[in-house]
Chain A
Amino acid sequence: MKRLLRLYVTGRSARSLRAIEKLTLLREDLEGDVEFEIIDVLEHPEFAEDDNVLATPTLIRLQPLPIRKIVGDLGDREKVLEVLVDSIGMSRRAESPLTPHEDKTEKRP
């Protein structure tokens, strides 16, 4: 089963870089082959149009269906995993270390 995650970012803004960093960490948390795509909305607004993305960063689980959207810089790792992982085909690595790398996330005003 194909697994595809697509992350929308805006250029090299701090928030985007943080999301990309978190996505890399996320690879460790997920089991099996997961494809990752990173799309810059400034370069490819048409992708954002097709996927109806309003906010950046936005992480979309395109495969497996149903489509899931997570908005934000992925700071809340537990929440991200909660949304992505379900019985349909994406699962969490058993030995997934719960490193406290979510502490550096930007606080919402």
Chain B
Amino acid sequence: MNPVKRPEAIRKLEVGITGFDQISEGGIPEGRTTMVVGTAGSGKTLLALQFLVEGVRQYEDAGVLVTFEEPGDDLIRNVESLGWDLASLIEQNLIAVVDASERPGEAIVEAGAFDFSALLARIESAIRRVDAKRVILDSVGALFSQFADSNIVRRELHRLAAGMRELGVTVLFTSERPDDYGPISRFGVEEFVADNVVILRNGLEQEKRRRTIEILKFRGVSHQKGEYPFTIDATSGVTIIPLSAMELHQRSSEVRISSGNSELDEMCGGGLFQDSIVLASGATGAGKTLMVTGFMDAGIKAGERSLLFAYEESPEQLFRNAASWGIDLKAAEQTGLFKVVARYPESMSLEDHVVKMKREIAAFEPSRVAVDSLSALERVSTLKSFREFVIGVTSYFKQEEIAGMFTNTTSMLLGGESITEAHISTITDSIILLRYVEILGEMKRGLTVLKMRGSWHQKAIREYTIDAGGMQIQEPFHNVSGILSGSPTCTPLVEKQRLAEMFEPLE
């Protein structure tokens, strides 16, 4: 007789998929069964396989792949494009395959009672062969089509899960569901088998596909709640963007850096903070790209790496513009202090943009990053994913202590605000407004620091001009009001005096 086992606290097994361990607060429960459900094409199989492959790669955990749906050879071929060489992992006895997929022409006839002991014996033998810690079953839905009585299949799956639990392995199995929102899975497997349920969704929202992952339940342990966007790409498979799960205790830097314009630094109370995010907002032609160029240049001059994500102009255009303001970005690019990444916003989904941006940043290790413009990205997304995108990017910047500058194009020439402004103003640390000001039939430009988190800043609206030397900030506007609302009115001095004399002081 074995001594009675004391219940142990449930530990978690790190999955090794980017973002997953954050939203799951450390991985999936170890030694338990976790079900991954999703509609067709939601990425279940890939996620499961990645759990296996990353186990080998990062943690030296051997694994067993049990396939019910696709023949093993097909699965191996499918993931070759991701650079996963399953065949060699199998050769090295790091992964074992139990191919339980239906073979063509082999119909099964049922005559009497049966159980899945043979399957369990096969899995057990595979586990022992490679000394596996991780097991995946993909997808159990296929078992229901092989056997007529789904009650028996459910009962046997339950037994299978119990059998694997005794072996101490952590099991991930996939199951189909008919809809993104509805019953958890077809055949109601989850009630019988899974301690934990993870849902993958691939919903259509305003004509755009949006993949999300949600941890629905982890029995007995905590996890982050809600849906998190994720991407699937050819280099890293599944990447989860763990937005709100990101830690908010970023260090706050007191170090000031130059914005590239000494007057503007002065207006901000001595420069921008090293780890702050600045939003420069203005109408087309107001000088946003100029501000970004100056911001990049200041970094380059200080000997720091600066990275620019351009979504509106090509590198050549940017270099030409910069040269016209007397800034040689081309030379900086050659010395390796500057890099520009130009992409069409429409070339991929916003989630993919995030992943690509992070990859560029991780490779270049800049201390300054600018995005010109953020509002161009707004075009290709829904409001929700745009907001998530901005949160994701800004928190990444903060985590890496990168100074960021975003630009935003307002739709109206005078005054006005855009969706970008309304939605991300609370996320950014500083906001600089660039506005056209029409005074007595003449177009002037005005600039103001609307917000500067953690610091005093000048409240005045200053006039500025753009010439061959870049942006020249002049004196504040006098006797003009209503600039920000888009309807500036001049108050002549005489009038001002008259107003002052309207009231008589009380005796």
Contacts and interface: CB of A to CB of B under 8 A. Distances in A.
A83 B109 contact: yes
Contacts of A15: 113-115
Contact of A56 (B101, B115, B149): B115
A101 to B, nearest CB: 13
A58 B121 contact: no
Contacts of B125: 45-46, 49
Contacts of A109: 151-152, 155
Given A45-B121, A108-B152, A52 B106 contact: yes
A74 interface: yes
A106 B110 CA distance: 13
Interface in A69-85: 69-76, 79-80, 83
B112 A55 contact: no
> Which residue, of A56, A68, A71, A105, has the highest number of chain B Cβ atoms within 10 A?
A71
B314 interface: no
Contacts of B121: 10, 41-42, 45, 48
Contacts of B115: 10, 15, 55-56
Interface in A55-109: 55-58, 66-76, 79-80, 83, 105-109
Given A52-B99, A66-B105, A8 B111 contact: no
A25 interface: no
B500 interface: no
Nearest to B128: A45
Interface in B143-158: 143, 146-147, 149, 151-152, 155-156
A8 B115 CA distance: 12
B116 interface: yes
Contacts of A66: 105
B122 A71 contact: no
Contacts of A107: 113
A46 B122 CA distance: 7
A68 B106 CA distance: 6
Given A41-B122, A108-B152, A74 B116 contact: no
Contacts of A80: 111
B122 A56 contact: no
A30 interface: no
A3 to B, nearest CB: 18
Interface string B90-121: 00000000111101011111111111111101
Given A55-B118, A56-B118, A73 B109 contact: no
B124 interface: yes
A10 B163 CA distance: 14
B124 A75 contact: no
Chain B interface size band reads 20 to 34
A13 interface: yes
A79 B109 contact: yes
Nearest to B146: A54
Interface in B349-389: none
A4 interface: no
B118 A8 contact: yes
A74 B111 contact: yes
A17 interface: no
Contacts of A75: 111-113
Given A69-B109, A83-B109, A45 B114 contact: no
A56 B147 CA distance: 13
A106 B112 CA distance: 7
Nearest to A43: B121
Contact of A74 (B106, B112, B119): B112
B118 A72 contact: no
Interface in B404-456: none
B106 A55 contact: no
B117 A72 contact: no
B118 A41 contact: yes
Contacts of B155: 109
Interface centre among B100, B103, B105, B113 (most CB of A within 10 A): B113
Contact of B122 (A13, A48, A79, A105): A48
A58 B111 CA distance: 9
Contacts of B114: 15, 55-58, 71-73
Given A76-B112, A105-B113, A54 B118 contact: yes
Ranked 10 nearest A-B pairs via Cβ: A72-B112, A75-B112, A45-B125, A10-B117, A73-B112, A41-B121, A55-B114, A76-B111, A54-B119, A72-B111
Interface of B: 98-101, 103, 105-119, 121-122, 124-125, 143, 146-147, 149, 151-152, 155-156
9 contacts: A10-B118, A52-B99, A54-B116, A54-B146, A55-B118, A66-B105, A71-B108, A71-B110, A75-B111
Given A46-B125, A56-B115, A80-B111, 20 more contacts: A10-B117, A19-B112, A41-B117, A45-B118, A45-B121, A45-B125, A48-B118, A49-B99, A49-B122, A52-B103, A54-B100, A56-B116, A57-B112, A66-B105, A71-B110, A71-B114, A76-B111, A83-B109, A108-B149, A108-B152
